[in-house]
Structure 1
């Protein structure tokens, strides 16, 4: 089972990959949106922003994705929410797991607005 530190490192690698990607892929990553990544097996959620140049992880929270019912600014619902296990996140970032296959098999979920999903498909 992947550790919280390994998952954080995977998110850093993903950010580096986005920064070094083709202009078309970078344009998808140029969205300025709040993001969260919940790791079901570790019951931890990374929060941050998808912005030009990659993903900036700004926090780590215990439990599932923050929701709108919380008034704390650090626990606002993210515009883009990924849910997976730690192992699947690491495998996805390392290119060992195909996003479409994992999504179809319900190994991960991606929740976002329709426009964001259309833009994010370039990343997938």
Structure 2
């Protein structure tokens, strides 16, 4: 099991990859969304905003604490989150094998798919 700090480092890596893309490409592929990443093995939920400026407003709290609704919910183990962030696990493979579960609108799912490419 990875730690909360390792997950936060993972989010920093993911953010860096997002920001490596040109601003024009980010504007084309990203619509601002509120996201919750539920990590059951840590009993923690990370909440953030996905924007053309990258991942912003990242914070975490114990799972089950009631907050405003989000547009996308991702459920993933801490080890898989870190492995995806470090490019040791393909996000597409993790999704297909149900190691990652996503609850989002169809439009959001298609946009997320284009970001993973």
Quickly name the TM-score band, shorter chain normalised.
0.7 to 0.9
Aligned residues: 115
Segments ≥4 residues shifted beyond 3 Å: 22-25
Note if 1:119 corresponds to 2:111. Answer: yes
For 1:58 and 1:121, locate their aligned partners in 2 and report how far apart those are by CA, in whole Å. 21
In proportion to residue count, which structure has more helix? 2
- TM normalised by structure 2 equals 0.87
**Deviation per residue, 1:50-81 (Å, 9 max, x gap):** 011211143211015x6xxx5xxxx1221011
- TM normalised by structure 1 equals 0.83
For 2:14 and 2:92, locate their aligned partners in 1 and report how far apart those are by CA, in whole Å. 17
For 1:25 and 1:38, locate their aligned partners in 2 and report how far apart those are by CA, in whole Å. 28
Note if 1:82 corresponds to 2:52. Answer: no
Q: CA contact under 8 A between 2:46 and 2:60: conserved in structure 1?
A: yes
Note if 1:46 corresponds to 2:46. Answer: yes
Structure 2: runs of 5 or more not aligned: none
Structure 1: runs of 5 or more not aligned: none
